[in-house]
Structure formats: C-alpha cells, structure tokens
Amino acid sequence: MRKDDFFRDARTDLAGPLEGIRVLEATTSWAGPMAACLLADYGADVVKIEHPDGEIARYLQPFVPDSRLSLVNETVNRNKRSLTLDMRSDEGRELFLRLASRVDVVVENFKPGTLAEWGLGYPQVRDVKPDIVYVSVSGFGQFGPLHDRPGYDPMAQAFSGWMSLNGAEDGAPTKASTWIGDDLAGIHGALGALAALRHRDRTGEGQHVDVALVDALLAHSNTFPSMARLGMPLRRTGNQFPVIVPFNVYRCVDSDSYVYIGAALDSHWLKLLRIMDRQDLEDDTRFADLNLRLEHRELVDQLVAEWCCKQPLHSVLERLAEAGIPVAPINDYPTATTDPHVQARDMFQDVELSDGRVVPLLAPTTKFSRTPVRIRSAAPALGADNEALLRELGERGGGEGDAE
C-alpha cells in the first residue's frame, strides 16, 4: 500500500481521534507522563500540573545540544499545556479540584496515598466530578503489601523477575537499556483510561484505574510467569529464542556485522538449507520439525553460524528476504533512525522547541487513516499556559493564587 492511499480519506480539521477529551495530569518522570503523552498525541487536551520549580524530567540528561532543554522532557511532554501549581497548599488544592471538575480524565503517578493526603485523591476528585476517570500509575499499585513502597523502572524490572532472564546466558541479570517498565505502564495507563471512558460513555459511571509497573512487566513476560508457577524450568537464553531454532544473532564476514535470522517454519528451514547449499540435510531426521531442531539447538546454530561468517551482510539479507525468511540486520540507532523505511513511516518530526531550536523528535507511533496524529506543539516552557488556563477558569490572570 502507498502512503497516499492509506491517508486518502484523512481529515485535517481534527487534532486526532481523542479531540474533545480533556485530561488533567499530575505526574513526574516517565511512566505517568507517557500515559498522558499518548492521550495528548491522540488529540486530547492535556494540562500538565507541575510544582513552580518544575518536575524532574526537565532536569534530566541528555540535553538538547547547546541548550538546557532535556530530551526526556521534550519527548514525553509534547502536545501538552503547562500550569504551575503547589498542590499541597489550600489554594492549590482548590484550583486543582476546579480544574478536575471540568475534565474527563486525571492521570497521576505519585506514591500511593500522596494525593489523598493532599486532598486530591480519587474520592475527593470524584466528589467534584462523579464520572471522572482517575488513572494512577505507580511501582507496586494502589493495594497489596508493598503498595506504599516507592519504585522506579529498574526496581520494577528487578522485582518482577524480568531482569532474571535478561542478559547473556552465562552472565549476570541485566536490566533493559530503555525504561521498559515505565513505557509498558504508561501504555496500560492510556489504554485503561480509554476503556474506562468507553464505560463512562455507556453508563455514566467513572472509576479509578490502577496500573503498576510490576504488573505491566509481569503481563508482558510472555509465558514465563505461568511457567514459574507451574514449576517449569526457566533459564536465561541471551539472543536465542527459547522455543525456536534457528532464531539467533549470527556474525557475518563484514567487520562488526551481525544479522538476526528467524526460521520458524519447516518451510523456512528447508529454504535456508538450500540457500546455505546444505541440501544434504533436508531429510535428516534430527531436523525434521521445529521440536526436533530444538533438541539439537547447538548443532543447528553452529550450521547457520558457520555459513553466515563467510557471507557479507548484504548478501545474507537479500537472499533470505527474497526467500521469505524473516531476517534483519543488527542496526545501531544512528543506522536505524536514518533508514529509508523508518523515514517513510514518518517516525521523526522536526519540532521547534520552546527556545527556538528545531530538533527531530520521535513522532506518534500509531497511524490513523481518518484522524492522523502528529506533534502539534513542543513541550511547553514551565508555566507557559498559566494565564490562559486561569482565564478559562475565570481567575483574574496569571500569578494569582498558587499559579506562577
């Protein structure tokens, strides 16, 4: 399909499929901001509340070159409006509740119980907005023995068991290089908000949506958690695929060139044998089906590795792709982000930041044929929308009360 055909019926008069949905966000770091970022990317009007000193994401490295703007903040807080507010004060609490009474969704990721102590928990917000969808994202969830324990992404990776199976087979447990727990919890926070909004639209009922990083990581650990509960053995497999072979990283003859090959089907295996000029193994009973190949994993991997190490990367990619065998080069990020396919997918958008610099930022992932989405605005400067938001509430102007 051509891109023009996909977007043939696209509308240009909407911010996205969530236009008209209003969100009040009280978050820091990444998981909560990611949940609200997804809603903002999809067209919701998101107002982010920050302390007048700003939240930690504004001060985290890496910074945009020749700037003090954090790429963390610019990535996860685009498409939002900014209001500074001390939620712990009486006036700040009152203003927060007035804002909450006018929105569809509240997203927060403070340690469980914190906002309730400030008079801004789900019961208090529900009093002013009975059908509110109140999304709480935290390390361990709103209930359970560890619910009041603070937790960041690496702690969730460690506690959930995720780290125990990540890394080299003979190495130490290894955390992900990205904030995978934060990302997954943010995705589930946004998905939970949309499901709760659907229920509200059908019944008029709001609800509290509870998302824990630990739960999200367990949910995305494939079959490992159930295997553990059944007493089945679990082991770290590195780059191997636990249940299929050949499914691994193989080195090519080029310097520092690696390829990932995944021959899952019996037909893939036969095609691979012909490409490797090993037709003599087509009728070998050791490799007759997926499970038999799995029993001889080391031999299968050795056969493929010995062939790949004599081939240039481009040849492996071309021949396997032509045969319909799943294959991909092991790219670094400079290579991946400039690949023509990634560019054709519009995964980057040049955005003018609040200081005037133009930076390529990752664009929204999902493509909507009727209601396309994009980065409409950069992450706002701290408190950039104070005056406008106070006017919307009927206040006398910026700088009044706790908004600064």
**pLDDT per position in the chain (404 positions), as tens?**
999 999 999 999 999 999 999 999 999 999 999 999 999 999 999 999 999 999 999 999 999 999 999 999 999 999 999 999 999 999 999 999 999 999 999 999 999 999 999 999 999 999 999 999 999 999 999 999 999 999 999 999 999 999 999 999 888 999 999 999 999 999 999 999 999 999 999 999 999 999 999 999 999 999 999 999 999 999 999 999 989 999 999 999 998 899 999 999 999 999 999 999 999 999 999 999 999 999 999 999 999 999 999 999 999 999 999 999 999 999 999 999 999 999 999 999 999 999 999 999 999 999 999 999 999 999 999 999 999 999 998 854 444 344 54
E-strand stretches of 42-150: 45-50, 80-84, 105-108, 133-138
CB atoms within 10 A of CB 103: 21
* Burial category of 305 from C-beta neighbours within 10 Å (exposed 0-12, middle 13-18, buried 19 and up): middle
CB atoms within 10 A of CB 205: 12
Degrees, nearest 5: CA angle 280-286-292: 135
CB within 8 A of 360, min separation 6: which ones? 348, 349, 350, 351
CA distance 402 to 404: 6
In the chain, the amino acid numbered 248 is N
Q: Which residue has 């009474």 as its token pair?
A: 101
Give the pLDDT of residue 255: 84
In angstroms, the Cα distances linking 196 to 13, 120, 206, 371 are: 26, 20, 7, 21
3 state DSSP class of 306: helix
In angstroms and rounded to an integer, the radius of gyration of the C-alpha atoms of the chain is 25
Q: Which helix (H) or strand (E) covers residue 380, if one does?
A: none
Give one DSSP letter per residue of 159-213, joined into a string: HTSGGGG-S-TTS-----SS-HHHHHHHHHHHHHHHHHHHHHHHHS--EEEEEEH
Question: Which domains are seen in the chain, by residue range?
Answer: 3-220+349-392 (3.40.50.10540), 247-337 (3.30.1540.10)
CA distance 70 to 245: 42
Q: Find the catalytic residue in 104, 182, 210, 215.
A: 182
Put simply, whether the predicted model's pTM sits higher than 0.85 gets the answer yes
Query: What token pair was written down for 87?
Result: 């939620």
Residues 281/304, Cβ–Cβ less than 8 Å: no
153 given a catalytic annotation? no
Give the pLDDT of residue 403: 54
Give the pLDDT of residue 399: 41
3 state DSSP class of 133: strand
